[in-house]
Amino acid sequence: MSSASDPGPRRGPLRRLGLLAAAAAAVAATVLVTAGATGDRHPPPLPVRVVGIGDSVTTGTACHCTDFVRLYARALTSRSRPATATNLGAGGLTSEQLLDALRRPGVVREGVSRADVLLVTIGANDLEPLISQWRSSGCPESCWSPSVSKVAGTVADVVRTAQALRGDPHERILVTGYWNVFDDGDEASNAHGPAYVAWTDQLSRGFNSAVCAALRGTGATCVDLYTPFKGDGSSNPTPFLAADGDHPNAAGHRLIAGALLAASGR
């Protein structure tokens, strides 16, 4: 993250795509969550393979806690059947970089091809250049809308590519929005002022709406994270954010997992 005078990239420093496989491999962690013995004579059901892809929200940056991908898998186990959790998130990742990773042989493509449930959080880093535009001359909706539309289209391409890799109509894909595509809460207000907070809120709402619209007809589920974190927009999300104001803390990850479970009917 940048200093208090510069909000910088939303999800950590941008990575070169050539480092994606190594970064994903370092972050990837597969956790088998086992259910207690039932005494059933029938073979146990195969575990549900939960895979998370996206930026540093997915990885759990700045939290040092159990990320929402693993929390979601654990909840599936407690409610229905065993599940594995594989986290393939990478800090600083953009939607274009994620799409490219799905099209190239590697750990991300392979992991997604095996997923029964795919959790996707991506797009905030793509919008980072808008900050300098806002600072220099302001950036109203007419300024940010073209960028948001482009990113939303790429997110939809990510979903379609993932579906083609899996080739399974029963695969469930859950795509989250953001409570804010940049930093938020007390940290953002103190560091950048109320005008910045108001602008990023408007931008984030626009991004969330554009992504959900782009996903219509894909079969993926658009998951609202704005409301759990901020209600109608009047709630302060600070209790759910890490000290950097940019990433969720442990309570925030629990909130995200809960929203995913509710959206998937689990």
Is 38 within a domain? no
- Amino acid at residue number 65: C
> What pLDDT is recorded for position 48?
95
Question: Tokens 């479970």 sit at which residue?
Answer: 261
> What pLDDT is recorded for position 34?
43
| CATH code for position 173 | 3.40.50.1110
Is 9 within a domain? no
Is 68 within a domain? yes
> What pLDDT is recorded for position 30?
47
What are the residues whose beta carbons fall under 8 Å from the beta carbon of 137, sequence distance 6 or more?
none
Is 39 within a domain? no
> What pLDDT is recorded for position 19?
41
Distance from C-alpha of 83 to C-alpha of 38, rounded to nearest angstrom: 16
Task: Report the SS3 class of residue 117.
Answer: strand
> What pLDDT is recorded for position 170?
67
- CA-atom Rg of the chain in angstroms: 18
> What pLDDT is recorded for position 25?
45
Is 8 within a domain? no
Residue-range definition of the domain harbouring residue 21: 17-30+45-263
Q: Which residues of the chain have pLDDT under 70?
A: 1-40, 169-170, 266
Is 84 within a domain? yes
> What pLDDT is recorded for position 81?
87
Is 4 within a domain? no
Q: How many domains, the chain? A: 1
Is 226 within a domain? yes
Distance from C-alpha of 123 to C-alpha of 211, rounded to nearest angstrom: 9
Do 97 and 17 form a contact (C-beta atoms < 8 A)?
yes
